[in-house]
Amino acid sequence: MGPNRRRLEREEAQARAAQRRKEEERRAADVAEAAHIIEAWNDRLASGRRALFSPTIGAAAIAGYRWLTVQCPGCGTVKEIDLTTIRRHPDASLMSSRAMTTTSLLGMSAHHARTPSLTFTDRCGTG
């Protein structure tokens, strides 16, 4: 192996390391943005304000929010739902799947399928 080959290998290793750092920085930025979106949504709903936007299931996963707390306004039933068990596309909006969440997952009748109280959490039973 000559000096040129070693230099080439070092340069390639440095380029791979730089690429990994860029990917880690992008991932960290995605996590921070997704967490901000989820927290803003949780805060908005917790303060009783109307949801003007809905995060995606994928955003919750990226931010590390694995659980969704659902409370039925009709009967008061509360349930923790593991988002990894929901078979929906990661880009699906949470509010687009509201009826599925309140009726199917909570086992409620259709008349209870009004706007539920929803909160993303990182662990079951925490807010």
Q: Could you give the CA distance from residue 118 to residue 18 in angstroms, rounded to a whole number?
A: 41
What is the pTM assigned to this prediction? Answer: 0.70
Collapse the DSSP code of 77 into the 3-class scheme (helix H, G, I; strand E, B; otherwise coil) and give the result.
coil
**Structural domain that includes position 48:** 1-127
Cβ neighbours for 56, distance < 8 A, ≥ 6 positions apart: 90, 91, 92, 93, 94
23-62 pLDDT, tens per residue? Answer: 999 999 999 999 999 989 888 888 888 878 888 889 988 9
67-112 pLDDT, tens per residue? Answer: 888 777 677 778 888 888 878 888 888 776 554 555 555 555 544 4
Report the number of secondary-structure helices (H) and strands (E) in the chain: 3, 3
Q: How many domains does the chain have?
A: 1
Question: Cβ(81)–Cβ(71) under 8 Å?
Answer: no
What is the rounded average pLDDT of the residues 14-19?
Answer: 96
